Structure formats: structure tokens, C-alpha cells
Amino acid sequence: MTEFDFIRRYLKQQNDADVVLGIGDDAAIVRPRSGFDLCFSSDMLLKNVHFFADVSPEDLAWKVLAVNISDMAAMGAVPRWALLSAGLPELEADWLQRFCDSLFALAQRFGVTLIGGDTTRGDLVFNVTIAGELPQGQGLQRHAAQAGDDIWVSGRIGLAAAALQCRLKKCELPPAVFAVCEQALLRPFPRVALGQAVLPFARAALDISDGLAQDLGHILQASGVGATVWLDALPTLPELKTLLPEAQWQACVLAGGDDYELVFTAPAEQRRAILEAAQRSNTPVSRIGIITETGRLKITRSADDDSEIQLTNTGFDHFDSI
């Protein structure tokens, strides 16, 4: 099978009224809708850095696209178009079929049209660029947090990190607990509905890819503010708290990353609006702290217990921690 057969057989599957010219030319052509800005994001995923070599093609395709859709969620944008570049060791028909079936199922689910990309011979490396729509002038930006804002997080965090620790033999979990955590690691669910629902009420937002402490740290730095986060308010899998040593659990929820939940801030007077938006989008949210004027991140046990908990491992950076 040639590169062009591959493109023809697997990638020309979708219809999109705003796509003037889809996959197969030097470039795709789309017609932006008036009244909308466009968001762009790219993520590269490499074997043994972002996924294990034994990952199934279904899980791999999901993750490659989902982490990009998640970036649109974190802006409050509607994901629209994606370009996939893939370096593959060989074109094996069954593997490709499974990869593409999973990719298009996810794309379909989120209304994303694949409009282009590139295939080449390589050792499992992927890059997705995604474009999404935002009502003109809107968008959840990291520099928009203000002192007094509530800090919210969606879903549950620390699960993906716990699964990773387990895979790396740094902890042991009962099979049922590991299965739940592994699902979070392999199949992060982009919070697109939540991002759009809170767009009118929230200020700053990010998706948690490198760990809550580090990602929230970016909001704080960009906004010139600080924060207090309550450890006991962090939503996680309850079993992890009892099964893991305290320090390891803290590392998972605060420095773990890879869960792709949203962390966002909103004025305290929007608390009800946020909860209603969460309900409308069928997404659990937890209020985990407040933005302060301190310029630094402080972790305490709870809103009522102000004594600080010291962190050592503050997050994942590709060039620091591998």
C-alpha cells in the first residue's frame, strides 16, 4: 500500500459544509464563518514519551486526537478541523483500520473534520493540529484570573498519573482500581461541552496536561496572581487516597497530569452560573480553592485549615524530568 492509497482508503470519509476542499491536495481550504475567531493548537506525541509501545491502535488514535480537542475545550472553543501527521514504522492494514476507526469515531463525536496531514516512515510519532471556532473576542485565556476568583476543576484528577506509576512499577493497585485509572490515562475525555458552557462566566482556563500545580501555576504567572488550593477538595478516585502513600497520592493529584480535566477560574458571584453550566454540560466540577494576591501557589488541607503543605514535585516538563 502506498502513502496515497492509504490517504485514499482511510482518510476521505467526512462531509463538512464549511470545508471547500478536503484531504488530498497541497492544502485544504475552509471557509471561516463571520463573527468567529479561530483557535489553533498543535500537539506532538511520541512513543515512549507520551504512550507505551504496546498501546492499542484504538487507544493511541483516541489519545492523539483527544489531547488536541482538549486544548479547544480549554479555550471554550468549538473544535472544527484537524490535520494529522503520522510517522509509522509500516502500513499494516489491520492496525491502520483500527487506528482510523477509533480516530474517526472520536472526531465524529466532537464534530471534528480531518482536513489534511502527512504520512511518512517513522517510529510511531504523531502530530495533530486542530482549529476551532470562538465567538469573536471571546476565549478563556490564562492571563485573565483575578484575585478573589473561585478555582474549579472538572471531573477527577490523579487517575492517569496513578495508572502511569503502576505501569512503571512504582506502586501497586488492585486490578479494578487500575482499570479505572488506566481508562483515564488512555482515553482522556475532552471537556468541550463544559468549556463552552462556562465561556460566558469563567475567566482563565487550562487543561491539565502537566499536573494541576504546574498548569495552575501558568495561570497564576500569566495573570500575576497567587492561589490557595485545598487538598481535600481535589476530586479524585477515593480508593487512591487510601491505597497510595500520602506523598504519592499528593504527587498524583497535584503533579500528575495527563488527565486533561479543565482547571478554570470564575468570579465568586458566578458560582451558581458555573454549577448550572456544569449540569447543562453533564460534567462534574469541584471548587478547589481561590485566587489570591500573594503571587504564589499555596496548598492547604482545606478551606478551614490554613497550614501550608509543601510540595516537592511540581509537574511534568519534558526537558526536566525525563
Please state the residue numbers annotated as binding site for Mg(2+).
Answer: 26, 41-43, 71, 118, 207, 210
DSSP bridge pairs for 166 = none
Q: Using CB atoms within 10 A of its CB, is residue 25 exposed (0-12), middle (13-18) or buried (19+)?
A: exposed
Binding-site sequence positions for substrate: 50, 258, 316
Smallest distance from a copy of itself to CB 293, Å: 23
DSSP bridge pairs for 130 = 41, 82
CA distance linking residue 159 with residue 252, whole number of Å: 7
Binding-site sequence positions for ATP: 117-118, 142, 209
Angle between helical axes of 159-167 and 175-186 (0-180°, round to 10): 110
Report how far apart, in Å, the C-alpha atoms of 88 and of each of 10, 37, 105, 187, 191 are.
15, 34, 21, 21, 29
Comparing CB distances to a copy of itself, the nearer of 131 and 237 is: 131
**What are the strands of the beta sheet with 262-266, ordered from one edge?**
205-207, 262-266, 150-154, 285-292, 226-230, 297-300
Q: What are phi and psi of 60, to 5 degrees?
A: -65, -50
Smallest distance from a copy of itself to CB 120, Å: 5
Comparing CB distances to a copy of itself, the nearer of 34 and 312 is: 34
Binding-site sequence positions: 26, 41-43, 50, 71, 117-118, 142, 207, 209-210, 258, 316
Comparing CB distances to a copy of itself, the nearer of 118 and 293 is: 118
Q: Using CB atoms within 10 A of its CB, is residue 168 exposed (0-12), middle (13-18) or buried (19+)?
A: exposed
Smallest distance from a copy of itself to CB 19, Å: 10
Provide the sign of the torsion angle of the four alpha carbons 219, 222, 223, 229, taken in this order. Answer: positive
Comparing CB distances to a copy of itself, the nearer of 32 and 295 is: 32
Smallest distance from a copy of itself to CB 44, Å: 4
Comparing CB distances to a copy of itself, the nearer of 121 and 170 is: 121
Smallest distance from a copy of itself to CB 94, Å: 16
